[in-house]
Structure 1
């Protein structure tokens, strides 16, 4: 397993499940520590995104797309997909 934003998300979901476990709940202080570390990781990811925008980079190891969210292989002549959302 690589360490990236998806890993952080999964650990947070696991922590939430452990907190909700009525038979053997996680200690609140431990859950708070997990949340604090996750907050620092997310803050560092925000800085990384700002750096990517400023430098023109195309991505990073931490902010990698999962296979499920990666852009599909586009046919020749198609340069991108734009999704619209009705507000």
Structure 2
């Protein structure tokens, strides 16, 4: 798994599952720390999106799903994705 927004999402879902584990729950302070770091990453992604818009760039590595996710999201019969520039 590469480090991108999908990684952040998965870690947050894992943290939620750990918090809900009745037999061995994650400490609340640790969960808060994970959420705080994730919030900073999401905020930096927002800045990155604004940069993409302002500069005319075509995307970023952080904002792209993993290759496995790209393939999983494609409907039957669709074999690829064409990227378009954000305007």
Post-superposition Cα deviations, 1:20-61, rounded to whole Å, max 9, x if no partner, equal 000000000000000000000000000000000000101001
Query: What's the offset of the Cα at 1:65?
Result: 3.2
Tell me the residue number matched to 2:65: 65
Aligned residues: 75
Structure 1 residues 4 and 18, CA gap change in structure 2 (3 angstroms):
same
Tell me the residue number matched to 1:18: 18
Structure of larger gyration radius: 1
Q: Work out the CA distance in 2 between the residues paired with 1:9 and 1:32.
A: 15
**Which has more helix, going by share of residues?**
2
- Which runs of 5 or more structure 1 residues have no equivalent in the other structure? 75-79, 81-87
The runs of 4+ residues in structure 1 deviating greater than 6 Å are none
Tell me the residue number matched to 1:33: 33
Structure 1 residues 58 and 5, CA gap change in structure 2 (3 angstroms):
same
1:10 partner SS: helix
Structure 1 residues 69 and 53, CA gap change in structure 2 (3 angstroms):
farther
**What is the TM-score with the length of structure 2 in the denominator?**
0.78
Cα RMSD for the two superposed structures: 2.1
